[in-house]
């Protein structure tokens, strides 16, 4: 019986600690002004725009792996 009480108290403690962590993160998130959020989004967008987009794979590259399902489908069509 005592073990169940300890497990119950541990569970309640875990739930309370999780609530405290979530409340802290929510307060930090709401501390941003709309201008701060906009500036951060512009920075992230500029960083992603600088990364070149990879070229799509050719049919030969796709069919190189014999066990790959897409390779089997493409071989059937060829």
The pLDDT value given to residue 27: 84
Can you list the residues of the chain whose pLDDT is less than 50?
none
First to last CA, the chain: 70
Segments making up each domain of the chain, as ranges: 1-52
What per-residue confidence (pLDDT) applies to 48? 84
Backbone Cα Rg of the chain: 26
Contact 35, 43 (CB under 8 A): no
For residue range 46-65, what is the model confidence (pLDDT) as tens digits? 988 887 778 887 777 766 76
* pLDDT for residue 39: 94
């Amino acid at each position: 019986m005592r073990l169940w009480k300890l497990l119950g108290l541990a569970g309640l403690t875990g739930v309370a600690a999780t609530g405290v962590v979530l409340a802290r993160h929510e307060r930090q998130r709401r501390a941003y002004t709309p201008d701060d959020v906009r500036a951060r989004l512009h920075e992230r967008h500029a960083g992603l725009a600088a990364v070149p987009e990879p070229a799509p794979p050719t049919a030969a590259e796709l069919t190189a792996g014999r066990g790959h399902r897409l390779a089997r489908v493409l071989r059937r069509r060829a």
